[in-house]
Amino acid sequence: MEVLDSVKTTVDSMFERFIRVEERVNTLWKDEVAPARSPRQLNAIGKNILSGSGIKEIIDQNKLKLLTQVKALNPTNAYDAEQYSLNVVSELAKHCPDVVPKLKDGAFRVGSGIETVLLVGGFYLRDLIFPDLGFSLTELDKPKTVVKP
């Protein structure tokens, strides 16, 4: 029984360490196109992906659908609004399957993976819809303002 407990403790420890490493790699990946600061903004690489991959046009064409999905998650602060925007765009293929060929072509065109193109698109969507959600990228410390239709 002691051996099994020891193995379980070792596996649990490895799992926790793996999660930490995964989070750090994810942060480094994001820093490649949108360096860490609050709020993250696309750098030259991110802007190149935004304009060259076609993700900007895809987001623009689907803005209302994506905004509706983010609003349905009821973000109450800027952090959640950003995370929801990134998550909704990361699942773009599920909600808009017709864009998958465009995503693949765009990713190939700019020499990036689809995940990176979607990340860039997520930051673009965030910037595009923050005012509609009652948030400002320049005044993050202010409370949410309610936008009436």
Residue type, 7: V
Extract the tokens encoding 22: 């995964």
* Whether the Cβ atoms of residue 127 and residue 137 lie closer than 8 Å to each other: yes
> Nearest to residue 93, comparing CAs of 85, 82, 83, 103?
103
Residue type, 88: V
| Per-residue model confidence as pLDDT tens digits over 73-107 | 999 999 899 999 999 999 998 878 899 999 999 99
| Per-residue model confidence as pLDDT tens digits over 99-118 | 999 999 999 999 988 988 99
